Amino acid sequence: MVSGGVNKCMKYALFVFNLVFVIVGIVMVWLGISSLNGFDRYIQLVETHSFAAPPKLFIAIGVIMFLIAFLGCCGAWMENHAMIMAYSVLVGLVLVLQLGVGIAAFLLQDDVEQLAEKGLNSTLVNYYNKTFPNVEDIQRSWNLVQSELHCCGVSNYTDWKASYNADLKTEALVPTSCCVGGAVENCTLTINKDNIDTIDVTGIIYTEGCLNKAIDQLAITRLGVVAIALGVVQLLGVICACLLARSIRFSYETV
């Protein structure tokens, strides 16, 4: 019977799409967690939770995709019209939400850069200020960022001349976390406010700023690209499910 042949073809196609959806779910959860891990490292520096929303939504959507894929497999296996239609509607809703997350990620990019730059500058200035709130957490975050991302300062290492102790001689101006490889503990002792713009620090401290590297670690833009790209795959899955549901209904009507 022709309709039965179509059902079989669509059924297998839907199984394949559900396998893809499982992979999509894994990718989304992984990307969301990776982005959140980057965010958690820098939370004391950027001073805002506003752009943690897209990664959290990505994780939620990824988990939901697992559940929807299970529903789709059951519906295809049982050739149940109602289950497949429910599957189509749910995937469609997730698709709309996902595209919203993708668009929001792109729209947030400028805000992320501005908020990150503002937060980094504020915390850098107060890095040595013992009376500044949560200064120990800020110091740990700055040291982690600079040592892990191989960077120093916001735009570059000379930003440290604006720090709280720039005119004091009691501590090094530039933190040792800026030392290349972290091997030389006193590598920053010869750097002070007067010579930081002229002294040759090549191979001694990291010279590139942390702003762009930190933003890159947050992966907000990448989330947007992935969300929209995966949306195309999900749209094909919805079309496949609708065709299968139509074929099943037609086969019932012709019996």
Domain ranges for the chain: 2-120+212-254
Which is more confidently placed, 253 or 16?
A: 16
Per DSSP, what are the bridge partners of residue 220? Answer: none
Question: One-letter amino acid identity for 80?
Answer: N
Whether residue 242 is predicted with pLDDT greater than 50 in this model: the reply is yes
pLDDT in tens, 41-53: 665 566 555 556 6
Mean pLDDT calculated for residue range 145-164: 89
Output the average pLDDT for the chain. Answer: 78
Which is more confidently placed, 189 or 12?
A: 12
Percent pLDDT > 90 in the chain is: 7
Most confident of 6-15, 65-74, 121-130, 150-159: 150-159
Which pLDDT belongs to residue 218? 64
Rounded Cα distance, 185 and 197, in Å: 21
101 within 8 A of 57, measured Cβ to Cβ: yes
Whether residue 190 is predicted with pLDDT greater than 80 in this model: the reply is no
Which pLDDT belongs to residue 7? 60
What is the pLDDT confidence band of residue 209, given thresholds at 50, 70 and 90? very high
Instruction: Write b or e for each residue in 126-163: b if 16 or more Cβ atoms lie within 10 A of its Cβ, otherwise e.
Output: bbbeeebeebeebbebbbebbbebbbbbbeebbbbbeb
Which is more confidently placed, 192 or 158?
A: 158
What is the pLDDT confidence band of residue 2, given thresholds at 50, 70 and 90? very low
* Helix 135-149 / helix 211-218 crossing angle, nearest 10 deg: 90
**Long-range contacts, stretch 242-250, CB < 8 angstroms, 24+ apart:** 242/88, 243/10, 244/7, 244/10, 244/11, 244/13, 244/14, 244/76, 244/84, 245/81, 245/84, 245/85, 245/88, 247/3, 247/6, 247/7, 247/10, 248/7, 248/79, 248/80, 248/81, 248/84, 249/81, 250/3
Say if residue 60 is exposed, middle or buried (CB neighbours under 10 Å; 0-12, 13-18, 19+): middle
Question: One-letter amino acid identity for 91?
Answer: V
Which pLDDT belongs to residue 150? 92
Question: One-letter amino acid identity for 23?
Answer: I
What is the pLDDT confidence band of residue 6, given thresholds at 50, 70 and 90? very low
